[in-house]
Amino acid sequence: MDRVSNRQTTWYLINIKARRDQTTEHYVQAFRNLYEQDPLISFPRSGKSGSLKYATFSNLLDENNTPKWIQIGLLSYTIIDPEAFYNKRSRENVTMDNWNEDIVANKKETDLYFIPSVHTLVVRCNSDISLKNIVYYLSEALNQVEPETFDVDIIIERDILDRILNAHAVTHLYANISYSNPGHTRGFEAAFDRKLREMGASRIEFTATGSKDHPLSSEYDGMLQSVVNLSEQNGYVQATIQSTENAKFEKIDSSEHPRKLVVPQIVNDICSTIYNTIRSIIH
Residue 113 is predicted with a pLDDT of 98
How far, in Å, CA of 162 to CA of 251, rounded? Answer: 14
From 23, 17, 118, 121, select the one nearest 72 (Cα to Cα): 121
User: CB within 8 A of 91, min separation 6: which ones?
Assistant: none
Residue bearing the bigger pLDDT, 266 or 273 = 273
pLDDT over 60 (residue 171): yes
pLDDT over 70 (residue 184): no
Q: What are the Cα distances from residue 29, in Å, to 25, 88, 171, 259?
A: 6, 49, 44, 27
Q: Which of 43-52, 165-174, 193-202 has the lowest mean pLDDT?
A: 193-202
Torsion of CA 102, 108, 113, 114, to 10 degrees: -50
How far, in Å, CA of 196 to CA of 203, rounded? Answer: 9
Number of neighbours of residue 23 by Cβ within 10 angstroms: 15
Residue 250 is predicted with a pLDDT of 95
What is the per-residue pLDDT across 216-270, written as a single tens digit (0 to 9) for each?
Answer: 877 766 788 888 988 999 999 999 999 998 899 999 999 999 999 999 888 888 9
What's the pTM value of the predicted model, to 2 decimals? 0.89
pLDDT over 60 (residue 183): no
Q: What are the Cα distances from residue 255, in Å, to 25, 158, 185, 232?
A: 30, 12, 21, 10
The answer to whether the beta carbons of residues 18 and 29 sit under 8 Å apart is no
What is the per-residue pLDDT across 112-145, written as a single tens digit (0 to 9) for each?
Answer: 999 999 999 999 999 999 999 999 999 999 999 9
